Structure 1
Amino acid sequence: MNLKVSEIVSNWDLAVIYIHVISNKVSIFTNVDGKKYVLKQKEAGLKEIIKEHELLNYLNSKNISVQIPLINKNGEDFCEYKEEFFAIYEYFEGDIITPKECLEGGHFPKLFGEAIAKLHKAMETFKDEHDFTKRNLYNNVFGWAVNVINSNKKINELNLIFEEIEADVKNISEVLPKQLIHRDPHTSNFIMKHNELVGIIDFEIAEESIRIFDVCYCATSILNEVFSDHTLRQDWIAFVGELFNRYSSINQLSDVEANSIWHTMLCIQTIFMAYFIDYPNLFDSNKEMFLWIYENRNHIEKKIVI
């Protein structure tokens, strides 16, 4: 028995009979009544925890299936333990669909497109007194990522592309619709059961940004996992078309947004190259993805019919 977990959980009047440690920050535990819960050590400060939990409760009120934080004995949905903050969430019984399964299962692009579209419609109406981070895509890419890359690896092939797309990225950063987004909608944050969506998890880094960022991120996260398979790369292009077309059927994309999908994907890859600048293998794989997306613009955009 993990005494630390048991002591923290006691703040909620729960009694642990089994603990499954996922990481040093996350554990799944079973209560005496057989019900499972998720215990998370929160990396953010109290203000960020409060606004995240308010968002989760709001989304739940809008029929978006998310993990709701439990209220403890003190009437709060978090506790402080040895100068760290912890929260307990409802547990979703289900599985994670692998990126390969996403491409091989015909209904998954529509399922993800619909889920993100409905999530965005709900998040767009969320108003509270807490400010979420406002992210400017142009500043993030050309004010940070490109500089990081060039300060470590001056790659002429990349810089020619950066020069080509910079003006367009600056423009779309100003004109594209912005709202509160999930920011991390990769497949492991969608819990599935019997090929149906159970719920969406991990809203810790939600922020205000261009709304197509989430859909592009979902797509590129899948490509990242299957990129070594040339056949699956082609399947991914078809996936992208169905993903965006389904999204737009529920939450209409503008022509400007549809024409900015390719640019946004390149921006995401640029951010990842900068993030992995000290990890040569990961940097190189993200660079290859960047170049492949760049070269396949026509194939990608041809599949998107808004």
Structure 2
Amino acid sequence: MEINKILEHWNMENEPSKQIYSSAWQIGDKYVLKTGNDMDKLRSNLVIIKALSEQNIPVATVVKTKNGLDYIVEDNAYYFISRKIDGEHLTNIYDDDYSEWAHLIGQVIGRLHIAFRACQTRIYCYDNDFYDEIVGWVTQTFKDKNITLIPDHILNEVVSGLKDIYPKLPRQLIHRDIHPGNMLFQDKLLTGYIDFDLSQINARVFDLCYMALSFLIDNTDDKEKTTKWFEMLNSLVDGYGTITPLTLEEKKAVPVMMMAIEMLFVAYFTDNNDAECTEGAAKILLWVWENKEKIQLQ
């Protein structure tokens, strides 16, 4: 579909456009056009954006079409435009302020979780049992694709550990894809959260584990960075705790939750024939396994 034809619905066909992702374009200096095929995710995303905006949480507000619509559908794909949020993604998380940044990010996630709890009864989102997901399609993918990157005894212990702890974890609406690329900052102040496409009901500690794991990507062989990572993990949790403290069960769950997340990534990337990312996820899982006692929070 020609983008200018789509932009006619917003009277923006004369604005310069630049593709920034496979499913997104920057329109002029102030707007972003996004597309996709999952209408349920779209509607959920739009409701979340509206609900969070009403609580003064910084999100990218939707720009209505010239006919007053939130989105349009063309050729079985949806398109919507949101206002571009000022700010920058964190790129050098291991700089001199790494512990301070981790503490700030923990607070940012905590505030988002509080806002989610306040509005989740008004939002329909997928209610995901992460343990069922791991013993379901994830484990089946390991069997069907004969994935041997992770020894069976480790996989079995991850599944067993998750079975024991997951039912004890507080659950709520979470971001589910929270990493530095989905936050924008300006002068160490959060300017916006983005991309709620994967938001779901799940254990809230999932988001903290997911964020901490994002700091490990391509860094497990760097001893200087992994030393800093343990400090960052504690700062992340401390920052979160200043907003909404973790339970003892959540702290206990962190290592096994991290390994289960990477187990999911191994299956996901294998399904998508991405050998490099599959190996990367397996490498992080094994690193967490080797360091699980040090990762265990007190």
| TM-score normalized with structure 2 length | 0.91
What residue ranges of structure 1 are gaps of 5+ in the alignment?
none
TM-aligned CA distance change 1:93 to 1:157, over 3 Å: closer
- Counterparts of 2:66 and 2:100, CA distance in 1: 43
Aligned to 2:77: 84
Aligned to 2:292: 297
Shift of 1:103: 7.6
- Counterparts of 2:109 and 2:88, CA distance in 1: 18
- Counterparts of 1:139 and 1:218, CA distance in 2: 22
Cα RMSD (Å): 2.2
| TM-score normalized with structure 1 length | 0.89
Aligned to 1:10: 8
Instruction: Output the amino acid matched with 2:229.
Output: W
Shift of 1:64: 1.1
Instruction: Report the number of matched residues.
Output: 296
Aligned to 1:43: 37
What residue ranges of structure 2 are gaps of 5+ in the alignment?
none
Larger RCO: Structure 1 or Structure 2 (Cα < 8 Å, ≥ 6 residues apart)? 2
TM-aligned CA distance change 1:24 to 1:224, over 3 Å: closer
1:229-284 per-residue CA deviation (whole Å, 9 max, x = no partner) reads: 22111111111111011112211211011110111001011101111224333322
* % identical aligned pairs: 25
Work out whether residues 99 and 187 of structure 1, in 8 Å CA contact, stay in contact via their aligned partners in 2: no
1:218 to 175, 188, 211: 211
Work out whether residues 190 and 201 of structure 1, in 8 Å CA contact, stay in contact via their aligned partners in 2: yes
1:42-66 per-residue CA deviation (whole Å, 9 max, x = no partner) reads: 2321x43222211101101112111
Work out whether residues 120 and 181 of structure 1, in 8 Å CA contact, stay in contact via their aligned partners in 2: yes
- Counterparts of 2:96 and 2:225, CA distance in 1: 7
Work out whether residues 129 and 202 of structure 2, in 8 Å CA contact, stay in contact via their aligned partners in 1: yes
Structure 1 residues 1-306: aligned runs within 5 Å: 4-14=2-12, 16-30=14-28, 35-45=29-39, 47-98=40-91, 100-101=93-94, 105-127=98-120, 131-153=124-146, 155=148, 158-277=151-270, 278-301=273-296, 304-305=297-298
